[in-house]
Structure 1
């Protein structure tokens, strides 16, 4: 992306590029207070069976692996049967691995313990519904997800029939679970892409505060409160009964220009974000959880610039909130570059069209921050409801 000239005056008065990250303000389910309580009480073993899949509202683990797969070419009826087989196999294996038990065909059973809060979460891309002859069962907001003007998408990080999200506080457990889950479906699906991510370990941050990205900024401040999850996160089955208890995931791969960001002093960084880097507080407040005052000004100049990230990422109405669960990545530099770092941004919501899309469109129009970050990957997945002990993930869809 070509960078425009940047000045303090230009930022204060207006103008901007675009962005794909998220911040905002307000109390959240992942605020320092609530996350601290979660971190202290979270068990070493996360439940697998239940109304909802684990790994979504679960207190975020230190490591994550996102794996996209494509079903092997097959006639429609066969594709549906293959999809059912994949989800059955994953359910059986994940139910054991997450509880510290080796999978039935595990060739390294010693690696199944301890669990380190391992979770396995599965999703279906819109293309899977089409291949299986179930296009009418896919929520419209998932199948019609747009491309934004600031996206610079690389097909290596886009799409996918299936998603595995594997998280734990120990990368060894994540890697082992991935190998088990992948090798058991080799005859049915092939890997499309994989993305790894990390966050501050709970042991290093017992307060459970908001994570920081590699630019040093707090990331994921604003999330729905626990009381809002039914209306903003979990599908209620109103238009697709099979999805009751499930949710929709937007997964974005965002690269960061760390070298360019280094050229800004602290005050300019704060103006770009609309937050103080040291404690995450909006420039109009004292604490990270303070509501930003976009009308506050000093000498007629807005305290929070109109093009600041917080001003545009902040929800305009309660229906624009969604659950942010981001992870950092730091991969080997690409040829001709000095770094290849950024964010694997996971956003969960009930309706992508009314929650994620309006926020992202505002960011794509005016956000100053996108001079230093670019979305290079984008995918959408439908996350089925949780499984019962006598069922499997996706049973409500596939029977």
Structure 2
């Protein structure tokens, strides 16, 4: 099954009463963290009648995990976890529970006997806030951070060379509460409550084996992953991701997104690497900047998204074009000029970023910006050079943006169709532990 086939395939049916046992889901630490997050990021907005998009369910199984080239949904709940056990067997058990639960959640089903069934004197299997809601295009994507490959689990020799420790870039103001993690889960959906429900219940399943290190809610996608999607706008008001990879560009996706066995670690074949960066916009400064200055710093018009060298949004920028004064129409220090593939050896990324807002800081300034997510085959050659150029020369990065969180995860391949899940069954990342 190709990735495009899997994106369009109906979800597998799940029998009622199946799935994860009640004993596996006891625990409250992760659930409290998920519930507390509900008040941020616009997630408290009302819900209209389910749209066709919300009714759609994606298949959990496939050569690649869902949530990478899947048509990007409008909402996100992302969580990074610290592993709290030293037992390799318990980590494997956790990944089995997570895989089984994710396959069920993506169909729009509750876990186990649900929120209203089972023993009356025990907590329900499912927290229940998504009861009655459709699948809402939910995708759940699992990743492994560098900490999984320390001395605890005998995996050091299987750490991919591509899973580097990201350098600290100029202008980074990283906060520990938004940095690192041994494991990650990316839950995307077209209903915010469905995305939060997924992380909340998966964190319950992790009790005793892993705990949330940090999480981020996102709304309003800032990229398009298929040509059928219109280019969205970021919190700076500009169209974002015009030059993003698209799922239909299969040759480019194979080259720049999917890992191959020849890359060094055969267990990662069909997987990818996820760069996560929490980028705060200094909104009070940006909002007082003239339109002319904003467009010159970005390199595109704010209205249409066209490059300043002319044309429409998808016209290729002409970095040699000059104005009457002989100066380049697109400044060499603009974001477009520095980030464009032509300035970076042709390197491209599959971006899946989201806007976020987390209220105000202690000085009353808006804490909002871009939660940058990008899937790449090799972070060292695709992401690091671009970020180095932006952090040293890009006026936007220097003047208006501050990166407060950063992490890198290896995203293993998906599970083949027909895989049997359960306490002794298949799980995402199983090749790593073979």
The match for 1:141 among 144, 158, 162 is: 162
What is the TM-score of this pair, normalised by structure 1?
A: 0.84
1:398 maps to 433
Q: Structure 1 residues 334, 263: CA separation in 2 closer, same or farther (over 3 Å shift)? A: same
1:305 alignment partner in structure 2: 331
2:137 — aligned with what? Answer: 117
Q: Which residue is 2:77 aligned to?
A: 65
Normalising to structure 2: TM-score of the pair? 0.78
How far apart are 1:171 and its partner, in Å? Answer: 1.0
C-alpha change, 1:140 and 1:84, in structure 2 (3 Å) is same
Give the whole-Å Cα distance in 1 for the aligned partners of 2:154 and 2:240: 39
1:362 matched residue in structure 2: 389
From the superposition, tell whether residues 284 and 42 of structure 1 become closer, same or farther in structure 2 (CA, over 3 Å).
Answer: farther
1:52 to partner: Cα distance:
0.3
Q: Report the secondary structure of 2:267's partner residue.
A: helix
Alignment length, in residue pairs?
354
Q: What residue in structure 1 maps to residue 274 of structure 2?
A: 249
The answer to which of 101-110 and 132-141 deviates more is 101-110
Q: Distance in 2 between matches of 1:159 and 1:153?
A: 10
Contact conserved, 1:214 with 1:342, CA < 8 A, in 2?
A: yes
- Unpaired runs of 5+ in structure 2? 1-50, 113-124, 421-425
Tell me, yes or no, if structure 1 residue 48 matches structure 2 residue 52: no
Alpha-carbon offset, residue 317 of structure 1? 4.9
Q: Deviations over 1:340-377 (max 9, x none)?
A: 10010001000111111111111111101120011111
2:306–2:315 contact (8 Å) kept in structure 1: yes
What are the residue-to-residue correspondences of 1:176-255 with 2, within 5 Å? 176-199=197-220, 208-224=229-245, 225-238=249-262, 239-255=264-280
What is the 5 A alignment of 1:72-83? Answer: 72-74=84-86, 78=87, 80-83=88-91
Match for residue 272 of structure 1? Answer: 297
Equivalent residue in structure 2 for 1:348, among 363, 367, 375: 375
The 3 A distance-change label for structure 1 pair 320 and 45 is same
Greater CA drift, 109-118 or 277-286: 109-118
Counterparts of 1:344 and 1:107, CA distance in 2: 27
2:409 aligned partner: 381
- Structure 1 unmatched ranges of 5 or more: 1-38
TM-superposed deviation, 1:223:
2.1
**1:320 alignment counterpart:** 347
1:69–1:297 Cα change, 3 Å:
same
Looking at structure 2, the residues matched to 201 and 349 of structure 1 have their Cα atoms a distance apart, in angstroms, of 17
The whole-number CA distance in structure 2 between the counterparts of 1:210 and 1:109 is 31
The 1:350/1:219 distance shift into structure 2, 3 A limit, reads: same
Q: SS of 2:195's equivalent? A: helix
Alpha-carbon deviation of 1:109? 8.3
Segment of structure 1 superposing worse, 55-64 or 103-112:
103-112
8 Å contact kept, 1:102–1:109: no
Deviations 1:204-259 (A, max 9, x none): xx972112111101111222333311111011111110001100000000000111
* Counterpart Cα distance in 1 of 2:186 and 2:208: 20
1:129 matched to 2:149? The reply is yes
Q: CA deviation at 1:337?
A: 2.7
2:106 pairs, out of 98, 106, 111, with 98
Q: Is the 8 A contact 1:42 1:59 kept in 2?
A: no
Secondary structure in 2 matching 1:106: coil
SS of residue paired to 1:245: coil
Within a 5 Å distance, the mapping from 1:84-95 to structure 2 comes to 84-95=92-103
Matched, 1:290 2:315: yes
CA distance in 2, matches of 1:343, 1:207: 23
Give RMSD over aligned pairs.
2.2
**8 A contact 2:129–2:197 mirrored in 1:** no
| Equivalent of residue 330 in structure 1, options 357, 366, 369 | 357
**Residue equivalent to 1:24:** none
